[in-house]
Chains A and B, each alone.
Chain A
């Protein structure tokens, strides 16, 4: 047991691991931000009184929740460029389109996350008393300003913890971007396994890295949640 874990000198791979952590964090942060923005629009569409808009939002959420992230990821990376190319070729263009792996990973994870975030956002909005809207509208504030200054700030307070959890979940789930060759933590770990012929130690190391990241972030968020309760 000891020999499996300790005999390998993983320290010399620190720069690869650090860059892997950077990529994982970059993807998770960008995806949660982008996913939240998309999720917000989807949630707004979902809450719309117009039926068509409503159906579009529901369909979007159901499709994304009903298909695996890995399919969505490969679709963004392999299929979308080809589709774009085919469309552009109709206009006489012969440009070859390639989406680099990191942006592709961010887009796929963000879109996937937006479906879940939109549900959290909807719940956050629905929990706000309708008296808030009534009070704002009775002052003459138009719908948009009411949303912006009265409803959204309060909804965010409800949504923030859910977004935090989503971010933590993405750190783990984004490890799937390995399949399109995005140089995240798992990609680096796999390389280390290949180079060192060590099957176990790098995996344990990856578990430790993921655990430290998620546990640390959860703690930090708990701290901020606690602070927000005091307002």
Chain B
């Protein structure tokens, strides 16, 4: 059972700050994410997008500030509680990070079985239905090595979904893919968004940000320099850095 409050905020950031040595990567970020919202984080490289998303499930621990997930400040909880918060927050990585020694079925069913979410007897059926969702039922017995990048990333999405998360975090999910495979992954993500999944996506795919996101966060110098609806952000960005960034993208697209 998840707690719901009036605004239905699922994640709240309060003064989130991250320093690597003396280097200030995230600078007192305050933000809220509502249930079923799709947020895309965009901005030039090195502005802390990946660091921000990795702070949402404590893969990186903030230097100061709070990350409040479903009412619970996860910067201050014990490891065991953090594990159960992470169950509710699926994550997809740029480099897929599938477990190479396990086949697709085992990759997907490992966590839910070991954490008691699935009975072993129902694992096969549940795995199949997840693979159906990402269009890869025929790969159930394949090993990661034999998958293309796009297939591997779709399996990684299915694996994260197996825990039945409330939020999905995507850290540049298509950046390591050959161009012709980007579409198949984005399509799966678009479907997820349409089903009402709360999603936070670090991406360079402006098309996805434009068409699927509810909000765009433009990161610059460790701050959310602009937080806007995509139609507004892409047509009239307020932040000068955002204007510059989009201008450069337009040049490329010519």
Contacts and interface: CB of A to CB of B under 8 A. Distances in A.
Interface of A: 129, 131-132, 134-143, 145, 149-150, 153-154, 157, 231
Contacts of A138: 57, 59, 86, 89-91, 160, 169
A157 B102 CA distance: 13
Nearest to A131: B97
Contacts of A231: 101, 143
B95 A141 contact: no
Given A138-B59, A157-B101, A231-B143, A131 B93 contact: yes
B5 interface: no
A149 B162 CA distance: 17
Contacts, number: 71
A131 B91 CA distance: 11
A138 B170 CA distance: 12
B99 interface: yes
A139 B93 contact: no
13 contacts: A131-B93, A132-B99, A134-B59, A134-B97, A135-B98, A137-B59, A137-B86, A139-B86, A139-B110, A140-B111, A153-B101, A154-B99, A154-B101
Given A131-B95, A135-B97, A141-B111, 12 more contacts: A134-B97, A135-B93, A135-B98, A135-B156, A139-B162, A140-B83, A140-B86, A140-B87, A140-B88, A140-B111, A149-B114, A154-B100
B185 interface: no
Q: Interface residues of B toward A: which range?
A: 20 to 34
A213 B57 CA distance: 53
Nearest to B89: A138
Contact of B159 (A131, A132, A139): A139
Binding site secondary structure of chain A: helix
A146 to B, nearest CB: 10
B87 A129 contact: no
B79 to A, nearest CB: 7
A158 to B, nearest CB: 11
Interface in B75-89: 79-80, 83-89
A153 to B, nearest CB: 5
B249 interface: no
A134 B95 CA distance: 11
Given A131-B93, A131-B95, A134-B59, A139 B111 contact: yes
Contacts of B83: 137, 140-142
B194 interface: no
Nearest to B95: A131
Contacts of B38: none
Contacts of B79: 142-143
B115 interface: yes
B111 A136 contact: yes
Interface string B63-80: 000000000000000011
Contacts of A143: 79
Contact of A135 (B80, B88, B99): B99
A128 to B, nearest CB: 10
Nearest to B99: A150
B241 to A, nearest CB: 30
Nearest to A145: B114
B163 interface: yes
8 cross-chain pairs, A with B, having the tightest CB-CB distances, nearest first: A140-B87, A135-B97, A138-B91, A139-B111, A131-B97, A140-B86, A140-B83, A153-B101
Contact of A129 (B88, B97, B163): B97
A145 B83 CA distance: 11
Contacts of B86: 137-140
Contacts of B162: 139
B135 to A, nearest CB: 21
Interface string B158-200: 0110110000010000000000000000000000000000000
A231 B91 CA distance: 26
